[in-house]
Amino acid sequence: MKATLLNFLSLLLLVLLTGATAQAQGSRPDKPGRQEIQAYYQANVLPVVRQQRQKLETQLAADDKAQLATYRKELHDLRQRRQGLVQSLKAAGTPKAPCSDPCPEAAVAGATLS
């Protein structure tokens, strides 16, 4: 039970850290306050999370550390695959994301079907 909880917490911290770095690296449209939030997050949140992760890792058993290393390797591989897919989509000229609003074509098609 304790090992499972430690695995879960360490994996959760890892996901939080990787999500934070992915957000920091991503290019998003500048919204008001976005830079301030990012600066606060990097100055106040990330150091605390890293410190807690390091404290947790010193308490882990050897098999838990091995499992954590496996999770990190899998995450690294998934990131590499994602990066390759994104590059291939960019090369193919595929748009970043589908339109978030109802597409005009869908509205027209829906109107003609009824």
Query: pLDDT of 24-34, one tens digit each?
Result: 555 566 788 99
CA distance 64 to 52: 16
Of 27, 23, 51, nearest in space to 37 by CA: 23
- The confidence band for 41, taking pLDDT boundaries of 50, 70 and 90, is very high
Section 31-40 average pLDDT: 91
Q: Would you tell me the crossing angle of helices 2-25 and 62-92 to the nearest 10 degrees?
A: 30
**Gap between the Cα atoms of 20 and 26, Å rounded:** 10
DSSP type of residue 96 = S
Work out the mean pLDDT of the chain and round it to a whole number: 78
Burial 76-95 (b: 16+ CB within 10 A, else e): eeeeeeeeeeeeeeeeeeee
Report the C-alpha gap between 83 and 25 in whole angstroms. Answer: 13
Confirm if 10 and 61 have CB atoms less than 8 A apart: no
Evaluate if pTM is beyond 0.85: no
